[in-house]
Amino acid sequence: MLQKIERQPPSSRVETHEASSAELLSNFVGFLRQQYWLIIGAVVVAMGLGAIYLINARPIYTATATLIIDSRKNQLFQQQSVLGDIPIDSSSVESQVQILKSESIALAVIRDLHLADEPEFSGSGGGLLGAMLGGIYGLFSGGTPSSDYEVTRRTVEAFGNRLTVRRVGLTYIIEIGFSSISADRAAQIANAIADAYVVDQLEAKYQATRRAGFWLKDRIKELRDQASVAERSVVEFKTKNNIVESGGRLMNEQQLAELNSQLVTARAQVSEARARLDRIQSILNSGASDATVDETVTDTLNSPVVTKLRSQYLELASREADWSKRYGVFHQATIGLRAQMQGIRASILDELRRLAESYKSDFEIATQRESSIQQELSTTVSQSQVTNQAQVSLRDLESSAQTYRALYDNFLQRYMESVQQQSFPITEARVITNASRPLRPSAPRPLLVLAISGAAGLFFGLGLARLRDLSDRVFRTTEQVETILQTDCLAVLPKIARKDSKQNLPIAAGSGRIRAIERNQDLFWHVIDEPFSRFSESIRSLKVAADLQNPSKQNKVIGFTSTLPNEGKSTIAGSFAELLAKSGVRTLLVDCDLRNPSLTRSLAAGAKLGILEYLSGQAPISEMIWTDHSTGLDFLPAVVKERFAHSSEAIGSDAMRDMFNTLLQTYDYVIVDLSPLAPVVDVRVTSKFIDSYVFVVEWEQTKIEIVEHALNIAKGVREQMLGVVLNKADIGRIGRYGNDGYYQNSYYSRYGYSD
């Protein structure tokens, strides 16, 4: 069955020992007891310097004037300003603050109040410190008198150092503060600054309005000439193209409308004349004798002759009908009446022919009139089309003329406004509180100065004490190790940054269950991945030391321990074992830290069986071994499923000793990762099966007294100690302490080694 180690988060691999509050308090009290004279001396010196400053410092008075940037814009005239109104927002107020701090305001106040003639501003400033600075400046200047420019620059610099301008919250109010050795002078200068600012704003607006007026005047002249030229062009174009307007309309448009109306009337008259002519001709062409009488009711109604003849005809027809009934149809009187009726019909027919000729003449006249109007309309339409085409150019000319005229009128109005504003400039800023004479000095404040001096002395003393403490109570050099612990310093290992990369090595196929180590923590494999690094070379020095200790002994059991957790003993043990295995030596790495089996969590997180199972007889040791197939390293984990209180009994048992005797029959080296000495007692009982110990000390972190105490209570470890390893050393700083500068890069790089 193949087993693979899964990567675990760093928090599950290594337990971090955090000091309790009581331990921190105890350490701090001990630190104060050892260094309190240094701290008290620093406080006394600092407060003495503060007292000297108070004695020699001259009192400074600060007066404050307040002004507001009024957003309501008091304007005498309702017209829009020539320069435009800039909305007052946060940026505008901050801009006004910077204007108040500008040199133009400072120079105006200095000139008005003659501040360049006062030693407070142009000299050293008074006081012991000022006199000393003035004397030093006089020595370097060679005693030559200062020029007016130098005096002015020093005055401006001193003025700016005494001036404070700030905005009150998010309001439009600005506070102007000025400090001076004279209370009256401070108030006077603060008020002068506010007045100079208001005058500067008025002057700026006056000058801007004046420049705008000059520009508007020149521009008005240009626009007047351009407007005149454009209007003359319109008149000339109308004259050239015969464009005449009446009542707001073109003459050809009015004529076209009238001709169109006449044409409609003429066509109606032609149609009416044609209808009358057709009717008369249809009556005349019918050929019936009675048609001339029966069918002329409507057509001849307006003819008096036809009407009279028809009335006579109808009267005779009535008499003929009556006489025919009375006397008979063939009576001579009846025949006479019919003869008269025939004569009247002939007369009506003649009258109809005359009317037909008249209707024909009317029709021809109407037709000729329609043709004339149509021809005149066509001529007018052609002229209108030409005029309409000219209207396009005319509209452009008129638009240009109107634009120039509107611009001219607008600029003329703006010019008149600018002239009025020059005589009455306004500003948005106004003073709301004048600076008054301060009753008490603003600086120096004795209590504040002494408090700051005391605090500075306290921090400075603590810093010096801390530096002194750090320089005496930790291991930094190999000389300290050899002198204090009376043992060899085998190596100094540099601090290596942990990487997050993960390498999965292939698992070799084979019979049975193969438990493969997964390379999930790069620091354990740094000695393999980076063989030419300083870290790898230091690990090789451990192997040399182990070989030289007892060359006649073939099998060796080497234990790695430290004083406190997190000093790097597990990493060094794993790296040392990997180096041995890579060189071809049969090597077994054993995790004997039953309180905190960090190696097991890192290299065999999936292990179910370990040392405790072997000691209890649950499984043979062959089923517990994990193997790194890239180096041939074997690993025996420690599986702790719950907190184990009697770990020292298990480690010191005969079964544990027998287990190591059995392992030595198979392996040349057995590397054991042990618990730290100070927190637990497990290491003290391992001398039965450990041949030698490598003691790991964290560089510049582990206290000397703690290491000495741990080794004093573990006699077996001290007697069988192979040596000490200084771990996590800062190579860039190690050269500052003792003779360990040869660990720096410049020496190792000559032989191809690097970090």
Res. 752: pLDDT tops 80: no
Q: What is the pLDDT of residue 63?
A: 92
Alpha helices, DSSP H, located in 563-653: 569-582, 598-603, 611-615, 647-651
The proportion of the chain whose per-residue pLDDT surpasses 90, expressed as a percent, equals: 12
Q: What is the pLDDT of residues 472-504, one digit of tens each?
A: 678 877 888 888 888 888 888 888 876 554 444
Say yes or no to pLDDT of 390 above 80.
no
| Of residues 439 and 331, more confidently modeled | 439
pLDDT at 360 over 60: yes
Indicate whether this model's pTM tops 0.85: no
pLDDT digits (tens, 9 = 90+) for 516-526: 665 655 577 77
pLDDT (mean) for 611-638? 87
Distance of CA 549 to the CA centre of its chain: 65
User: Residue 649's pLDDT band (boundaries 50, 70, 90)?
Assistant: confident
Whether residue 646 has pLDDT greater than 60:
yes
Give the percent of the chain with pLDDT over 70. Answer: 76
pLDDT on residue 670: 93
**pLDDT (0 to 100) of residue 504:** 46
With both helix axes pointing from N to C terminus, report the angle between 21-56 and 127-141 in degrees, rounded to the nearest 10. 70
Torsion on CA atoms 128, 131, 133, 135, rounded to nearest 10: -140
Q: What average pLDDT score do residues 652-667 get?
A: 88
CB under 8 Å to 620, separation ≥6 — which residues? 614
Distance spanning both ends of the chain, measured CA to CA: 39
If pLDDT is split at 50, 70 and 90, which confidence band does 425 have?
Answer: low
Which position has the higher pLDDT, 660 or 335? 660
What integer pLDDT is reported at residue 261 of this predicted model? 83
Is the peptide bond preceding residue 620 cis, with omega within 30 degrees of 0? Answer: no
CA distance 405 to 401: 6
Classify each residue of 336-353 as buried b or exposed e, where b means 16 or more C-beta atoms within 10 Å of its C-beta. ebbebbeebbebbbebbe
Amino acid at 437: R
Q: CB neighbours of 406 closer than 8 A, spacing ≥ 6?
A: none
Tokens at 481, concatenated: 């190790």
* Alpha carbon separation from 684 to 487, 569, 696 (Å, rounded): 19, 16, 16
Q: How far apart are CA 737 and CA 467, in angstroms?
A: 14
Which residues, listed in sequence order, are joined to residue 714 by a DSSP beta bridge?
none
Across 253-257, 309-313, 543-547, 678-682, the highest mean pLDDT is recorded for 678-682
pLDDT digits (tens, 9 = 90+) for 699-744: 888 888 888 888 888 888 888 888 999 998 887 767 655 555 555 5
Coil, strand or helix at 5: coil
Long-range pairs for 621-628: beta carbons < 8 A, 24 or more residues apart: 621/659, 621/662, 621/663, 623/513, 625/515, 625/588, 626/3, 626/5, 626/515, 626/516, 626/517, 627/514, 627/515, 627/516, 627/517, 628/505, 628/516, 628/517, 628/519, 628/578, 628/581
| Per-residue pLDDT at 164 exceeds 90 | yes
Q: What is the mean pLDDT of residues 380-384?
A: 71
Of residues 638, 690, 633, the one with CA closest to residue 661: 690
Q: Which of 5-19, 114-128, 450-464 has the highest mean pLDDT?
A: 450-464
Q: Which amino acid is at 42?
A: A
The answer to whether residue 142 scores a pLDDT higher than 60 is no
Of the two residues 268 and 145, the one the predictor is more confident about is 268
Range in 288-292, 296-300, 672-676 the model is least confident about: 296-300
Across the chain, what does the average pLDDT equal?
Answer: 77
Closest CA to 695 of 590, 564, 549, 581: 564
Strand 245-246 relative to strand 249-250: parallel, antiparallel, unpaired? antiparallel
- The whole-number average pLDDT for the span 116-124 is 80
